[in-house]
Amino acid sequence: MTAERKQSLALFLATLDDLLGSGYASKREYSFSKDPSSSDPPAQPVQEQKEQEPVALHAALKKPVPPDSLHRIINEVYICTACPLHKTRISGVPGEGVEHPVVLVVGEGPGAQEDKTGRPFVGPAGQLLDKMLSSIDLSREKQCFITNIVKCRPPLNRDPQLEEMEACMPFFSRQLALLKPKLILSLGRIATQWLLQTNETITKLHGQWKDYKGIPFLPTYHPSALLHNEMWKRPAWEDLKILRAKLQEYTDQKPELSKQKEPEV
Ligand code: SF4
């Protein structure tokens, strides 16, 4: 089955779940085959099922299709098998934050801690990201939503492959449409190059405002890169100041710049 077919199937199951209110999407053990050792009573005669089926189907089809939601995306990510990354994940990592963020923060993919917890950016790089955001008065609890291009961890933290990013991209696009962020902050080379569809290096792209589907888009270094290379600490801080200056256009209260501190890297 192709990646697109698998995603379509996941979307269909989640929609069916919303329509019937059965919690189907979260019941992974659901099976179409009957266990021969089961003591369940035998299925109804075929004739009776045929008489009931159109009524139930008709009732379900009469209900309006519910609009897309962040909750539905979460359920779909957890059961998604659209690319090979599902085989090695412990948990999908859909993303977290506020529903209408000022800033959508996007990295390339979850790491080991994220895979274990199902939450984005909770390892050492995530702690640094929280510090960076905090240094310009942002947090995932109040103004940000944090996610990745691929929602499942690539084995051994390798770069996500193009086919994996392609398969997972509908989730990001749907999140973007629902969240409607004012700004996007992309972390690192992979996410930046993928979203901008460019081969330019992050060294060249960081700190320059770009446009992503009409939304101001600022690339910067990935926090894990900052943990490994002191050299990028200063330019990353300069990028945050550029983000902070732009944020002032969206807030009535201008931050008191003199109180801002450079994050410890
Ligand atoms: S990485 Fe994305 S497309 Fe691949 S299995 Fe996970 S959720 Fe599905």
pLDDT tens-digit readout, 62-93:
677 788 999 999 999 999 999 999 999 999 99
pLDDT at residue 104 tops 70: yes
Amino acid sitting at position 173: S
pLDDT digits (tens, 9 = 90+) for 144-200: 999 999 999 999 999 999 999 999 999 999 999 999 999 999 999 999 999 999 999
Query: For a substitution probing ligand 1, which of 86, 106, 147, 159 has the most ligand atoms within 8 Å of its CB?
Result: 86
Confidence of residue 250 (pLDDT cuts 50, 70, 90): confident
Looking up tokens 């702690």 gives 127
Ligand 1 atom closest to the CA of 3, numbered from 1: 3
Give the helix ranges, DSSP H, for 63-147: 70-79, 112-117, 124-135
Query: For a substitution probing ligand 1, which of 13, 81, 91, 158 has the most ligand atoms within 8 Å of its CB?
Result: 81
Q: Whose CA is nearest to atom 2 of ligand 1?
A: 168
Beta strands at 144-148 and 210-212: parallel, antiparallel or unpaired? unpaired
Closest CA to 131 of 47, 206, 237, 38: 237
Q: Is 82 in the pocket of ligand 1 (CB under 6 A)?
A: yes
Q: Does domain 94-259 have CATH number 3.90.226.10?
A: no
CA of 114 to the centre of ligand 1 (A): 14
CA of 230 to the centre of ligand 1 (A): 33
pLDDT digits (tens, 9 = 90+) for 187-238: 999 999 999 999 999 999 999 999 999 999 999 999 999 999 989 999 999 9
Closest CA to 150 of 200, 188, 199, 100: 188
What are the extents of the domains in the chain? 94-259
Sheet strand arrangement including 183-187: 96-97, 144-148, 103-107, 183-187, 215-220, 210-212
With residue 57 as reference, give the H or E element that holds it.
Answer: helix 46-62
With residue 103 as reference, give the H or E element that holds it.
Answer: strand 103-107
CA of 3 to the centre of ligand 1 (A): 9
pTM of the complete model: 0.76
Q: Is 109 in the pocket of ligand 1 (CB under 6 A)?
A: no
Confidence of residue 21 (pLDDT cuts 50, 70, 90): very low
